[in-house]
Structure 1
Amino acid sequence: MGKILQVGIRVQVALATALMVVCLAALMSFVVGKRSGSDLQNQIGLGVSDIARQMADELDRTMWTHRGEVSVLSTLSVLRELQDTQEISSIINRLRREIPIFTWIGVLDRDGTVVAATGDLLVGANIAQRPVFQYGKNGQFIGDVHDAKLLAEKFPLYNGEPIQFVDIAVPLYNEDDEFTGVLATHLSWEWADTVRKSLFSGQGIHQNVDIFVVAQDGTVLLGADGGLVGAKLDLDALGEAQRNHIGWKINTWSDGEEYLTGYAPADGHLDYDGLNWSILVRQHVDDALAPVHQLRRDILLWGVVLAAVFSFISWWAAGFLVGPIGKMANAIEAMKRGEIDKLPDVQGAREINILSRSLQALLAKLTEKDAALGEMQHIAHHDKLTGLGNRLALDVYFEHAIARADRKKGELAVLMLDLDDFKPINDRFGHAAGDDVLREVAKRLRRCVRGGDLVARLGGDEMVLVCNVEQDGAAEATMLAERILHEILMPFITGGNRVSINMSIGISLYPGHSQQPDQLLENADSALYVAKARGKNGYVLYSDDMAQQEIKPSRA
């Protein structure tokens, strides 16, 4: 009878547990798989759109840079006067050798005749009807991608196709402000393909992506290994990019296949307005979402495996529940027969459960207390908006950092940071956009420092960075300041708006400028005011004469 009872309970417990685990595993597989798959798909899409944005930024910055180079070249007096063609030829040929992206550079007189050119190509030819002269004589001109009309036979094919150019031209004026000619340049379009191949080839889940540069009318200017070049696209993603949106979509392309398509506009850089290009980055939907499908399969598989494992464990564990019950039943029968006068101590499920519940309750209380203390400590030491340290964290860090610097005979660099013209962002786009910018600034600052350094927010847009440096602390601190300025110079995207902002930095060193934390901060603050006064977007290393300044300029 006891064996039948034992087997019956054991089987019932095992079956009940197995059924519960199977149902729970199925439910978790569905919920977690759906939620995780959706999050992962969005993450992959954002990664593709980020590649498009980076490609657009790289193209715009490159065009902005070379436009500036042409403008600077046009200020040389020898070019403006057009007297010494031999010297002009030497200058432009040297520039061509140093910067090969300038495939052809020519200097045209006021009638459109080429008087000097790289490699002497087209010297003596009149190209007054070409856009570089027609538009260049009226002001700075940047022409879109086009075939080489006059130079096609002078240069080798690229990817089996004739070479293409982007034009930059500026007018030339002598010292009497008289128009003397045009400085015309052809930039080989190969550089854009080089950017596509080398900088944005894709890694990890973004391997095998195709990157396209599309003109304003939808014509493909640059494609994957020449694919679709010259064709016109009609895609939702392209329309979004032309409306200055950044994001991703799943679109059906001209080959009938679905691709996860990231998009971004190439809308210029600083004072360069761009050529209204759009950047599309596509990855076949099966390749792009393969991790999503694999995740769902893995969750389902692990759910089934865990259900089988827990079913076996529950069947095995049921024996420990039945054993004490059988022992108690035998003891009761023995008492009935008068063989014993008291029940023996039985170690079984009840006692184990009581102990388990007690320990669990105690552990839960201790865990709650530790979690609460940890949360309170985190709140006390961190800025709520940016997650950076606050003034309290800065004071604590100074104690340990100064002691460590003294032990290692090293130095500390204190960088006082303040955003230039931050208030107009709040006024124009709202405080939510300003908060987004502050959070992004915090992320970029974290990327600039090492693990043992501290970035803290003192309030508003004022932050401070404390880092350990070697013996040549001034050199390391200024290099860090330059890296920070470079990071902050990159545009911010908030609410679909591109925001540019600069930063001023003041630097002081421990122990050279002071051995007291408060004085170090004050010295760095004095250097920051000097940086602001010098035109902002720069850094200044503290010097003793700054302490004599009584009137400090505004930080606005």
Structure 2
Amino acid sequence: MKKFLQVGIRVQIALATALLVVGLAVLMSFVIGKRSGADLRQQIGIGVSDIALQMADELDRTMWTHRGEVSVLSTLTAFQDFSNTQQMSSIINRLRKEIPIFTWIGILDREGTVVASTGDILLGANIAQRPVFQYGRVGQFIGDVHEAKLLADKFPSSTGEPIQFVDIAVPLTSENDELNGVFAAHLSWEWANTVRRTLFSGQGVHHNVDIFVIAENGTILLGADQEMVGETLSIDALDEARRNHIGWKISTWPDGHEYLTGYAPADGHLDYEGLNWSVLVRQRVEDALQPVYLLRRDILIWGLVLAVVFSSIAWWGAGFFVGPITRMANSIEAMKRGDLDVLPDIRGAREINILSSNLRALLAKLTEKDVALGEMERIAHHDTLTGLGNRMALDVYFEHAIAQADRQKSELAVLMLDLDDFKQINDKLGHAAGDEVLCEVARRLRRCVRGGDLVVRLGGDEMVIVSHVEGDGKSQSITLAERILQEILMPFITGGSRVSICMSIGISLYPRHAQKPERLLNQADQALYAAKARGKNGYVLYSDQDMIGNDASSRA
């Protein structure tokens, strides 16, 4: 700021104009960006939440549909009579051809042996220990996503990753409801990935959207990043989906980035209860708010362009009144150097003429009042006899001294001083001699204190010293009191007479004893009276518990 004020007015006006325009551009960028960002965040959040809900609904509907298909197929007469396995194989292979999602279908007898299957894969194998048989013979069974242990080499994945299935199994019964076997179907999990890629590819503000399907135990079953599949996810949005909540929030994912995350539960469809999957749809906050960032950038660029244009105009326009002001400033500098006695009358615009006339009149009056004000200030803050400060000076000094002590974590020593038996000097030698003694006492007190301390005469022979003390304030204030007493004990020569005099001192400390000046002075005054009561020519340090003092004879 100081360097800015040292340049010319034209430069200041041009810079101020540029800063104003840039400031307005930054303010507009912030306000518009904040408002637009909030609106866009809300819009995208609702969008990703809708996508999550649609994906969850599509998963449940698909599972409900294929579960129904398996249930209907299991009722066919061909699957109730195990004598014609050729017919069973024909129907199964035709079904695989028409509905490719049925990667493998097998008919198991009551012992768990495969009697008919897609492409005769695992034909004759006993899979009685597999969940499709163990649970399928009891009732309708829908198994969660899993890798194919027995079919991995039979159905290699195009991506090289292990193929995954969702199992559907139902019991096959005779007309007497006796268990004949199990109808088992493995649905390729690839259908869910196809739904993710095609149905929710992301358009408009929903570009770069990632969709995840999460198992009940938190395992990622489906995701855009195959490296994440199989990992366990734990974020707040997933917790919301598990509570059957639908919505969106900004969540921090394991990669450390923040995403707008929509969530919805896959909680079944009609009589299909679902597998307690959760669907999460995420979009990077930076990607979502990219339009807002671009808008902010454009506003700032235009702000910089306009700042250059308007500052140039301001530079040109300022020249019309800068000239007279420059001449006026040079004249004032010449007056300060003593080269001019009177400010010349400078002409220019109407406001310049008024300013020039008023400055000339003002400078004349200020010159006249300067000396008078200095003298008035000296009289107002000093004692006319001794030249020491007075009560007004003490009040002003206290305000600054206490603030300085607080900043420096130091203490102030307040010493209340009173000459012992001073009245006898006035009575014996006269008031003129007494005044000489007071002036000499003032000179000696000044020699005892440091430059930043204050010596004040309150009236008569009563004086106050306020001194900054560091470290042990009690010890330093006592040292100062002892130095003063030694200095005052030196004889005084007044009116041709040799006069000896002594002094009593009361001491209080800020902030140890009090924090307000009035209280400190009162405590120092109490300590002064205690010093006089103990025989004079000594000091007493104020204490809340008692008065700890000393005198000249005990010090000797």
TM, length-normalised to structure 2: 0.50
State the 1:25 CA deviation. Answer: 6.3
- Change in 2 beyond 3 A, CA 1:258/1:30: closer
Tell me the distance in 1 between the aligned counterparts of 2:272 and 2:303.
Answer: 56
1:40-92: CA deviations, max 9, x gaps?
12212222222222221211111111111111111111112323211111111
The corresponding residue for 1:237 is: 237
Tell me the distance in 2 between the aligned counterparts of 1:225 and 1:90.
Answer: 39
Tell me the distance in 1 between the aligned counterparts of 2:310 and 2:272.
Answer: 64
* Conservation of the 8 A alpha-carbon contact between 2:22 and 2:300: no
The corresponding residue for 2:139 is: 139
The corresponding residue for 1:45 is: 45
Tell me the distance in 2 between the aligned counterparts of 1:250 and 1:200.
Answer: 20
Tell me the distance in 2 between the aligned counterparts of 1:50 and 1:157.
Answer: 31
* Conservation of the 8 A alpha-carbon contact between 1:159 and 1:225: no
Tell me the distance in 1 between the aligned counterparts of 2:225 and 2:25.
Answer: 47
- Change in 2 beyond 3 A, CA 1:275/1:154: same
Tell me the distance in 1 between the aligned counterparts of 2:137 and 2:98.
Answer: 26
SS at match of 1:216: coil
* Conservation of the 8 A alpha-carbon contact between 1:108 and 1:184: yes
- Change in 2 beyond 3 A, CA 1:311/1:197: same
* Conservation of the 8 A alpha-carbon contact between 1:37 and 1:295: no
The corresponding residue for 2:207 is: 207
* Conservation of the 8 A alpha-carbon contact between 1:140 and 1:169: yes
State the 1:251 CA deviation. Answer: 2.4
* Conservation of the 8 A alpha-carbon contact between 1:37 and 1:296: no
1:319-351: CA deviations, max 9, x gaps?
xxxxxxxxxxxxxxxxxxxxxxxxxxxxxxxxx
- Bigger CA drift: 302-311 or 187-196? 302-311
- Change in 2 beyond 3 A, CA 1:248/1:313: farther
- Change in 2 beyond 3 A, CA 1:306/1:244: farther
* Conservation of the 8 A alpha-carbon contact between 1:259 and 1:285: yes
List runs of 5+ in structure 1 lacking aligned partners.
1-14, 316-556
Where do residues 120-159 of structure 1 align in structure 2 (5 Å cutoff)?
120-159=120-159
Report the structure number with the largest CA radius of gyration.
Answer: 2
The corresponding residue for 2:490 is: none
The corresponding residue for 1:545 is: none
Where do residues 316-327 of structure 1 align in structure 2 (5 Å cutoff)?
none
The corresponding residue for 2:176 is: 176
- Change in 2 beyond 3 A, CA 1:188/1:108: same
State the 1:114 CA deviation. Answer: 1.1
State the 1:28 CA deviation. Answer: 4.7
The corresponding residue for 1:298 is: 298
SS at match of 1:185: strand
Question: 2:275 is aligned with what amino acid?
Answer: L
List runs of 5+ in structure 2 lacking aligned partners.
1-14, 316-556
Tell me the distance in 2 between the aligned counterparts of 1:142 and 1:283.
Answer: 32
- Change in 2 beyond 3 A, CA 1:16/1:220: closer
Sequence identity (%): 76
1:489-518: CA deviations, max 9, x gaps?
xxxxxxxxxxxxxxxxxxxxxxxxxxxxxx
* Conservation of the 8 A alpha-carbon contact between 1:221 and 1:229: yes
1:457-489: CA deviations, max 9, x gaps?
xxxxxxxxxxxxxxxxxxxxxxxxxxxxxxxxx
Question: 2:119 is aligned with what amino acid?
Answer: G
State the 1:303 CA deviation. Answer: 6.0
SS at match of 1:233: coil
Tell me the distance in 1 between the aligned counterparts of 2:246 and 2:146.
Answer: 27
Where do residues 51-450 of structure 1 align in structure 2 (5 Å cutoff)?
51-301=51-301
* Conservation of the 8 A alpha-carbon contact between 2:61 and 2:269: yes
SS at match of 2:228: coil
Tell me the distance in 1 between the aligned counterparts of 2:76 and 2:260.
Answer: 49
State the 1:245 CA deviation. Answer: 1.6
* Conservation of the 8 A alpha-carbon contact between 2:17 and 2:307: no
Tell me the distance in 2 between the aligned counterparts of 1:78 and 1:137.
Answer: 18
SS at match of 1:227: helix
CA RMSD, 1 decimal: 3.4
Tell me the distance in 2 between the aligned counterparts of 1:77 and 1:313.
Answer: 94
State the 1:19 CA deviation. Answer: 11
Question: 2:289 is aligned with what amino acid?
Answer: L
SS at match of 1:144: coil
SS at match of 2:80: helix
State the 1:150 CA deviation. Answer: 1.3
1:350-409: CA deviations, max 9, x gaps?
xxxxxxxxxxxxxxxxxxxxxxxxxxxxxxxxxxxxxxxxxxxxxxxxxxxxxxxxxxxx
1:7-64: CA deviations, max 9, x gaps?
xxxxxxxx99999988876655443332122101221222222222222121111111
* Conservation of the 8 A alpha-carbon contact between 2:60 and 2:269: yes
- Change in 2 beyond 3 A, CA 1:144/1:29: same
State the 1:211 CA deviation. Answer: 1.8
State the 1:187 CA deviation. Answer: 0.4
The corresponding residue for 1:434 is: none
Tell me the distance in 2 between the aligned counterparts of 1:52 and 1:191.
Answer: 17
Tell me the distance in 2 between the aligned counterparts of 1:246 and 1:118.
Answer: 40
* Conservation of the 8 A alpha-carbon contact between 1:164 and 1:189: yes
State the 1:250 CA deviation. Answer: 2.5
Question: 1:68 is aligned with what amino acid?
Answer: G
* Conservation of the 8 A alpha-carbon contact between 1:169 and 1:182: yes
1:260-286: CA deviations, max 9, x gaps?
322221111222111111112222332
Tell me the distance in 2 between the aligned counterparts of 1:132 and 1:271.
Answer: 20
Tell me the distance in 2 between the aligned counterparts of 1:209 and 1:30.
Answer: 27
SS at match of 1:107: strand
